[in-house]
Structure 1
Amino acid sequence: MTALVDSEADANIGATDDGQNPEYIEAPGDASGSDFEDVDTDGEDPEGKPVRLSKSQKKALAKARYREWRREKRHRNRRETRKREQQARSELLSGMTEEERSAFFLREKQMAEEKKLQQQAFIQDAYENGMPICINCTFHEFMNEKMQESKSLARQIAGMYSKIKKNEAKVKLIITGMSKDTVLYKHMQFFNVDAWKVHIHSQNYWELFDTQNVVVLTPDAEECIEEVEHDKVYIIGGLVDVNVKKKTTLTQAKERGVTAMALPIKKYFPNCKKRVLNVCAVFEILIMRANNSTWEEAFQTWIPTRARTDDTKQLTE
């Protein structure tokens, strides 16, 4: 499995990831935005006169509205959560004496400092000793003309690092093929990438690692991975695009004699309509399997509902 869209099927999932933000918030309904296509999506010209939009224009507008709806929902949820936390804290403090409040503030400060040190230690350990997962960003030519695709990939990679920062994934995150003159790097700067504790290289993965220890994940591979080995470097294709030549990742791996394998979706989740997932989903599935979850559990958790048949959708209801 790879984020590289090697076929039309890849395009259907990879290109709809528009906002896989660092917290992976998934709104209800079809994440492609199809639930928003029933609204009146005709537009207006510069003079304010109604204009009949084409089918593709309506679809693009529906997706834009969906993304905006999801952003608003995320911000609203955050505001409501902060408000509840602040209210609970105020109620707790109001019932304390002055001495109790002073002791509470001191303990709160100490706990915050301890938590920060623990997080920093975890991040450093992951940086040095975590399971290596590499995002292969050598496909810039496919995304340069479509800024939204580079933005989407940047958000997905930021989401991975967010899991590490929250101490939820002990992963040595490696980004290859990304130099400072690329469009992707410019988008990554929005997430303060230069301050990240990750390995970033302008070289390609086959120039950095012993290819005998590398596994390229691609939906086009005939052989499937069964176990996630911590001494292997797993390569996830870093590309979101709707017009990529089929088998790009597989071809690249074969040309360099690198093992290419697919996630065993057909074997363990046979009712899935798609064999391709976005970068974040592949990252999460690898982590779950490495932490002794079954493939079924990992796929059930991270394969989106829109990619399942009715039988598998019912399992989540």
Structure 2
Amino acid sequence: MDLEKAGMIKMAEKNFSIRMEFILLGFSDLPSLQGFLFGMFLIIYTSILIGNGLIIFITKVTAALQTPMYYFLGNFSFLEICYTSVTIPRMLSDLWTQKTNISLLACAVQLGFLLSLGGSESFFLAVMAYDRYVAICKPLYYPLIMNHQKCIQLVTGAWISGVPVQIAQTCQLFSLSFCNSNKLNHVFCDIPPLLKLACGDTSLNELSVYGGATIFVTFPSLLILWSYIKIIKTILKLPSAMGRRKAFSTCSSHLIVVGLFYGSGFITYLRPKSSHSPGVDKVLALFYTIVTPLFNPIIYSLRNKDVIIAIKQLVQK
């Protein structure tokens, strides 16, 4: 009887530990590359901080960049820093210490911030597309439409509009029981790998994922598509070839960032659960959490003459 009771207690402790923490497998299948990966991610994170920090600084101190477009770009760069800081420091810590356990609460907090900031990034890209639409399609009304108050409202809306929905989705996900395993085959806490560990019926959660993706991925991307259809029609009507080139150049940087972010987001959250694989999920996760923030300052710097001039003036000073 005592042995039976001891066995039950041991089983309960095991289940309790599974519910209270996860083991992030991350790159454990590449033991010989742990040092290389740590160095690579450290360089990438430092580059993201420096590059986006530089964009924030020059958009604040350069008089020529005190326009709505650069106001949005500065906020977007700050968002990119926050977004990557949710995942990369934890990944660096795991690679350095080889301690990959994460508590249930820490996992929920990380996912909540990741989803909320990801939703904000999606809305920011839509706001920036709207700004380019007004600037190119309605240039005479641009100062009136994109006034300072309107810019603050758009930025505030982009920052906070996704928070309630994403927090609710996170709470709904972590109300599930995770009894299959405590080994999370991913580099950070994300929805697809967590759903694989959940026991019981997860159809409602999967439906909410598709609903969230519709709100934060599909809807903004359709708004961006509509904006650029209008923009392209207007550009093609311009009489000057130089004017068309300048207009396309202004929009191309934004389009590249949009393609990088939404492409990986669509594939991650809108493809069927049966087609998910740990390897592909990890690559896509790194793509939309690291590659876009890394390329953001490079794309906007190299393809924007105003930013290049501002950087040159800053270096000279």
TM-score (norm 2): 0.26
Structure with greater strand share of residues: 1
Structure with greater helix share of residues: 2
TM-score (norm 1): 0.26
